[in-house]
Every structure is written in C-alpha cells, then in structure tokens.
Amino acid sequence: MPRKCPPELQATPLAAPLMFSVNAAAGGSDDWVKAIGGVDYAYTLELPGGGNSGFDLPASQIFRTVSTFFPAIRVMGEYIRDNFA
C-alpha cells in the first residue's frame, strides 16, 4: 500500500506511488536487488514519459521535470536518513 506523499511533492501526483510503492514490479533492478541481492530496501525513481518512444522527454519539459525530480530525491534521502539511519 503506498504511503501518503510528503507535502513537498504534492504538486507531482506520481511521486507517491513511485516513491513509496512496496509491491514488486515487473522484474526491475530494484526487485532483483531486494530478492537476489538481499538488501532490505530497494528504490526506483522513474521520470515521466513523453515523446514517441515513451521516455524521450521533449526538451520543452526537461526543466519542469528536473525542478520536481531533484526535490523528490532530497525528500526521499531525508526520509531514509530519518527512518533507517
């Protein structure tokens, strides 16, 4: 069950399910690290898609994406530090 998105990320609706999902996906590297590598916590942060090939974000959306993505990394790091360090 995804946890509530921190207030800092309320403007990015996909941040909560991507940051705090606790379910295995379709065999991503985070699933492998947790299952085979034996680590307790594995995370994957995914940028929004766009363009014709899915993840080739148009240049006009790069600044907006980076402006919301880097704060998400900061909040995630603080959460890990505060709860697991």
Asked if residue 17 lies in contact with residue 2, where contact means CB atoms within 8 angstroms, the answer is: yes
Contact 57, 47 (CB under 8 A): yes
Domains of the chain, residue spans: 10-84
Instruction: Name 50's bridge partners.
Output: 55
pLDDT given at position 27? 64
Task: For residue 46, indicate whether it is catalytic.
Answer: yes
Positive or negative torsion for Cα 47, 18, 45, 24? negative
The per-residue pLDDT string of the chain (85 residues; one tens digit each, 9 = 90 and over) reads 345 555 555 555 444 444 445 555 566 787 888 888 888 877 777 777 776 777 778 888 888 888 888 888 888 888 889 988 7
- Among 46, 62, 64, 77, the one annotated catalytic: 46
d(CA 55, CA 60): 14
CA–CA distance, 70 with 81 (Å, rounded to integer): 16
